[in-house]
Amino acid sequence: MKNPIRVTVALDEETYEIFNRLKENFKNSQSELVRRALKFYNDYRMFENYDWNKIKTYVEMLSEGEHVILDIDHWIAFLRFIETHPDKEEFWKIHRDVARAHAEEFKGRDAKYVLERLEACNFFRINAKNGEWTLVLNHESTKKFIKDFLEEVFKNMGLNVEIKEDLMKLRLKFNNPPP
C-alpha cells in the first residue's frame, strides 16, 4: 500500500462533537471515519435525482412492517387469480373493509397525501393538472383494485370524487373543493 496522503481539516464545535461521537460509536480511527464519510457522501450523491419524499415514505412504510415489496408479475398473477376464484366477492368485501380502515388512518390528511402515498406503493403514477388527477396504471388488471379502494377511502374521508376509467388510466375529479 502506498503512503497515505495527509489532509488537515478544520471543524466547528458542533461538527467536532459529531465527529467524536461517530468515532466512538464506530470504534474507528479519525482517518477511517473520514474515509467512510467521504465514500458514504459519494454514494449518497448517486441519489440526488430521486424524490426524497418518496424515499422517506418507502423507508417509513417498510420499516413499520405493514407493507411489503412485491414483484409486479406476482401482483398481476394475484389479481388475475382473484377474478377467477369462486369466492372473489368475499375478497372485494375485505378489500373495501381495508380501504375503510385506511380512510381512518388518513383522517386529517388531504387527497394529495393519499394519492402520493399510494403512488409510492407503485400502484400508479400521478399526473395532476387543473384540479384533476390522472392515475397512470402499471397494468390494466389493477384498475378495479385501485378504483374500488380509492372510492371507499375518499367516501369515508368525506371527499366526493368522480372516477372515470380509461384503458390504463383512472381520472379523478373532486366535486368538493380539491384538496
**Mean model confidence pLDDT for the chain:** 90
pLDDT the model gives residue 177: 56
Per-residue pLDDT tens digits for 9-52: 899 999 999 999 998 888 889 898 998 888 888 877 777 777 77
**Distance of alpha carbon 37 from the chain centroid:** 27
Query: pTM for the full model?
Result: 0.72
pLDDT the model gives residue 1: 65
Burial of 143 (0-12, 13-18, 19+ CB in 10 A): buried
**At CB < 8 A and 24+ separation, what contacts does 87-93 make?**
92/148
> Which residues, 6+ apart, have CB-to-CB distance to 90 below 8 Å?
none
* Average confidence (pLDDT) over 159-178: 88
Do 160 and 149 contact (CB within 8 A), yes or no?
no
Distance CA 16, CA 19 (A): 5
